[in-house]
A and B are shown apart, each in its own frame.
Chain A
């Protein structure tokens, strides 16, 4: 069976700007595949190439073995797509918009599944789209992508604007799609979301795939950032431990980053009088820098959260 998605040396230039610098990626069928990267890394560009909304400067993109450009109509027939910048016909009611999308699809309509989706996402489709909140528009976008049970779901930032409960429901819907043998390819710039949803992850950074990871390995690579305030300044070499890096020191307050050295760091701290201890959610950028940075990028100040730079 052909992979659900296959990109080979895909390059995309916008004028003199090279947005994609040779993307190679294979997404096997029947899994949830996360496409993780910071804003501007090339996620949306890659996704829009898959649907032939934009054309690569060079390289090939295939969906279910079909060429994205040559067989674009068939590709789009078999895909459900949620744009990252979701814009719908504001004047239509939600239900009329779904009818319109349905009218393009030769698949047999499944009004029952559509109703189920609306119910589970708690969306009233009788409202005009312009009256919907951002979150409700996002739900409508998800319903139109899912409702005809496409073989491949291509979702650009699917949970953006959704509250945690709805996000959980979306996660269930995606799991169900995969259980039916369909494939989900979604982009995100939020690490915990990708960890929670996906089975495998490709990490894109500055237009190239920085890494492809199994999700369990990704989780094991968690970055812990700790801010410890001691009663008095600790010894300078306290955190000279394997898997631990001291980022910054300000009197008795020390910022450290622990990869696999979390346990060692905690044990070292325990010997001193600790006044305060905070853990920070590392940003995606911290995570990248910790694991995938090019050698010349590995400078201490880069690893600090942006607001403290």
Chain B
């Protein structure tokens, strides 16, 4: 049978306004932050942030440098927008289609369950890359025209560097969506994990006795604006992508073996959920 990418195509078409919406938000933020840098430079140059406040900025780049400023104002929190997008898609992929009941007709087509999950994942990879790409466009229309000590290459790397963590949260929410009774639970679980990840990283940076917390946070491996000056930390990227791939694999395993429900499995008991987790 011919290989088709129609689920990728359909998913991207469904998401187009989300992608454009998030994309424009990133584009505007990126350009704005670069353009205001010259007027802030003199003000922030004299600022010596307390360690605890610096810790909340997501990286140890000094706020008084251009890279530190862009990191704190953009790369430390913009991934959260990206995560909102990927979690919407992750919970929608299986739990959403089951909740709306459209999954019955979709899965009655000559399409394997693995193929369905993989195609939807490809669509989210493309969608998040497009959103991050919009953000880079914001840098592209600002950096060359402003006196700022960051390079377009650095901005491109840091923008791309947002993707692994966003995809990790996609994969987790996808998996939640395949084992929990409905989309609300799945979204709740994924958002709780993302919030925990964010705070683990900042708390670890602020409280030295809890510094080991950071190893439990995807935000630590992400590193906010660090790629602006240091390039990409491939070990961290591989770790994040590896965990993402693991959750996609777990999803395929549980989804391929279980019954497809319509309207959400509201009667799913703890034992059933455990059954889905263990496949």
A170 interface contact, C-beta 8 A: no
Interface residues of A in 92-108 (CB under 8 A from B): 100-101, 103-106
Beyond A53-B104, A54-B260, whether A104 also contacts B269 by CB under 8 A is no
Least CB separation from B9: chain A residue: A103
The docked-state distance in angstroms from the alpha carbon of A307 to that of B257 is 43
A106 touches B108 (CB 8 A): no
With A55-B257, A85-B101, A104-B6 already in contact, 15 other A-B pairs whose C-beta atoms are closer than 8 Å: A15-B269, A51-B107, A73-B111, A73-B112, A74-B110, A76-B109, A83-B104, A85-B104, A87-B105, A87-B262, A88-B102, A100-B6, A104-B110, A105-B110, A144-B105
Shortest Cβ gap from B82 to chain A (Å) = 24
Contact call A87/B109, Cβ cutoff below 8 A:
no
3 smallest CB-CB distances across A and B, nearest first, come from: A87-B101, A104-B109, A77-B110
Across the interface, name the chain B residue whose C-beta is closest to A104: B109
Chain B residues closer than 8 Å to A53, beta-carbon distance: 104, 107-108, 259-260
Residue contact B111 to A104, C-beta cutoff 8 Å: yes
Given A15-B272, A54-B259: A83 in contact with B1 (beta carbons within 8 A): no
Question: In the assembled complex, how far is the CB of residue B111 from the closest CB belonging to chain A, in whole angstroms?
Answer: 6
Is B4 an interface position by the 8 A CB rule? yes
CB neighbours of B1 from chain A (8 A): 73, 77, 106
A101 touches B110 (CB 8 A): no
List CB contacts (< 8 Å) of B92-108 with chain A: 100-102, 104-105, 107-108
Closest B residue to A97 using CB positions: B105
**Contact residues in B for A48 (Cβ distance below 8 Å):** 104, 260
Number of interface residues of A (CB under 8 A): 27
- Residues of A251-306 whose CB lies within 8 A of B: none
* Also in contact, A76 and B105, with CB within 8 A (given A103-B6, A104-B6): no
Q: Which residues of B contact A103 (CB under 8 A)?
A: 4, 6, 9
Q: Is A91 an interface residue (CB 8 A)?
A: yes
Task: Give A86 to B9 CA distance when docked, in angstroms.
Answer: 23
Which chain A positions have C-beta within 8 A of B267? 15
Say yes or no for A11: interface residue by CB 8 A criterion: no
State whether A85 and B262 are in contact (beta carbons under 8 Å apart), knowing that A15-B269, A100-B10, A104-B4 are contacts in the complex. Answer: yes
How far is A15 from B109 in the complex, measured between Cα atoms in Å?
27
Which residues of B1-50 have CB atoms within 8 Å of chain A's CB atoms? 1-2, 4, 6, 9-10, 14
Which of A76, A91, A100 lies in contact with B108, CB distance below 8 A? A76
Contacts of A186 in B (CB 8 A): none
A interface residues (Cβ-Cβ under 8 A, vs B): 15, 48, 51, 53-55, 72-74, 76-77, 79, 81, 83, 85-89, 91, 100-101, 103-106, 144
Q: Binding site of B, secondary structure by majority: helix, strand, loop or mixed?
A: loop
Contact of A87 among B10, B102, B269 (CB under 8 A): B102
Known: A15-B269, A85-B101, A104-B6. A79 touches B262 (CB 8 A): no
CA distance A15 to B104 in the complex (A): 21
CA separation between A77 and B2, bound complex, in Å?
Answer: 12
What is the CB-to-nearest-CB distance from B66 to chain A, in angstroms, rounded to a whole number? Answer: 44
**Cβ contacts under 8 Å, A73 to chain B:** 1, 110-112
Give a binary string over B241-268; 1 marks a CB under 8 Å from any A CB, 0 the rest: 0000000000000000111101100010
A100 to chain B, nearest CB (A): 6
* Contact A81 to B108, CB < 8 A, known contacts A55-B259, A103-B4: yes
CA A91 – CA B10 in complex, angstroms? 12
Instruction: Give chain B residues whose Cβ lies under 8 Å from the Cβ of A101.
Output: 105, 109
Given known A-B contacts A15-B272, A73-B111, A87 and B104 have beta carbons under 8 A apart: yes
20 contacts between A and B (CB under 8 A): A15-B272, A51-B108, A55-B258, A55-B259, A72-B112, A73-B111, A76-B108, A76-B111, A81-B105, A83-B104, A87-B262, A88-B105, A100-B10, A101-B105, A101-B109, A103-B4, A103-B6, A104-B111, A105-B110, A144-B105
CB-defined contacts of A79 to chain B, threshold 8 Å: 108
> Which residues of chain A have C-beta atoms less than 8 A from B6's C-beta?
100, 103-104
Give every chain A residue within 8 A of B269 (Cβ-Cβ): 15
Determine the chain B residues whose CB is within 8 A of the CB of A87 once the complex forms.
Answer: 100-102, 104-105, 262
Binary per-residue interface labels of chain B (126-139) against chain A in the complex, 1 for a CB within 8 Å, 0 otherwise: 00000000000000
Chain A positions within 8 Å of B257 at CB level: 55
CA distance A172 to B213 in the complex (A): 69
Name which of A54, A87, A91 has the most chain B CB atoms within 10 A of its CB. Answer: A87
CA distance A76 to B108 in the complex (A): 6
User: Which of A54, A86, A91, A105 is within 8 Å of B14, CB to CB?
Assistant: A91
B105 contact set on A, CB distance < 8 A: 81, 83, 86-88, 101, 144
Give the most central of B4, B262, B272: most A CB within 10 Å: B262
Smallest beta-carbon distance B6→chain A, Å: 4
User: A81-B105, A87-B262 known; A106 and B14 CB under 8 Å?
Assistant: no
User: CA separation between A74 and B1, bound complex, in Å?
Assistant: 10
CA distance A48 to B260 in the complex (A): 9
- In chain A, what residue has the closest Cβ to B10? A100
